[in-house]
Amino acid sequence: MEMIRRKPQQRRVKLHGNRICYLTAGEGPVILLIHGITSDSRTWERVIPGLARSHTVIAPDLPGHGCSDKPKGDYSLGAHACSLRDLLLALGYDRATMVGHSLGGGIAMQFSYQFPEMCERLVLVDSGGLGREVSPLLRAASLPGAELVLPVLAASRLLNAGARVGGLLDRVGLKLGTDLEQMARGHNTLSDGASRAAFLHTLRSVVDPAGQRIDATNRLYLAEQLPVLLLWGRHDSIIPVSHGRAAHARLPASRLEVLERSGHFPQLDEPECFLEVLLDFLEQTEPANAGAHDVAGGYGVVSAAG
């Protein structure tokens, strides 16, 4: 029975008329795993069973991703945060530890700002939103006219070759290979118009041709009441580890862990180390219990333009 609980189960729920698919496993305090752009819940499959030994794990396909619906509408960080709030409430949960990877890190931060009473801890894995630098490929995809090029890329042999090269690099121990392989896999999901539109709306809300548009560093003080873990791959080719170090300097009470053999996907490159770090963080920290009233004072010093 315990093995059944730990094995991820694919489920779906309707939110505001749209289907949201998610993986779930385990019992106990809730951990919400938030994937990055062009990815889906499967990016967490190697670590879900370990987390499910002691926690209820929920790993959704964000709207516009995976097998969730891809409606026309808002794909901003705030809209994604609202979708995750609604998902938790629909499943009967009112609090969770938020674990966000890449774009998911930006969503997790936004969630903690919008719904502090629902956020117990904040775990940022190779997170977006903490600096300007980002992969040139993502910057190029934000250019006007990219919607005309993406169908060609998604159907071309170039990305399949990238996936093969990524696999070869992984086999010889160069973790940059996972980054290439996952980027190729992600772009292969853009073969249909709805997926491309959702991708471009999401990307352009956070990235422009010069780099990341969203900079959360001036709001990190709002997370001072939360246990925060910054977890990065040293060889990240998409978002540099320097962003994690800079965020840690701004949040001295946070914990920074750099996995030496990982790229942008440490949960895939070093799942055992990833689990060890995350489970230790969960065990060694107490969940925050901030209510909306507690954090409202902090927002009072933020200008309306911010």
> Which residues are part of the catalytic machinery?
102, 236, 264
Burial 144-178 (b: 16+ CB within 10 A, else e): eebeeebeebbeeeebeebbeebeebbeeeebbbb
DSSP at 254:
S
Furthest C-alpha separation in the chain = 54
What SS3 state is found at 258? strand
Q: DSSP class of residue 52? A: T
Q: Count other Cβ atoms within 10 Å, centred on residue 276.
A: 13
| Cα-based angle 162, 267, 252 (whole degrees, multiple of 5) | 120
**Residue 195 in tokens:** 């997926």
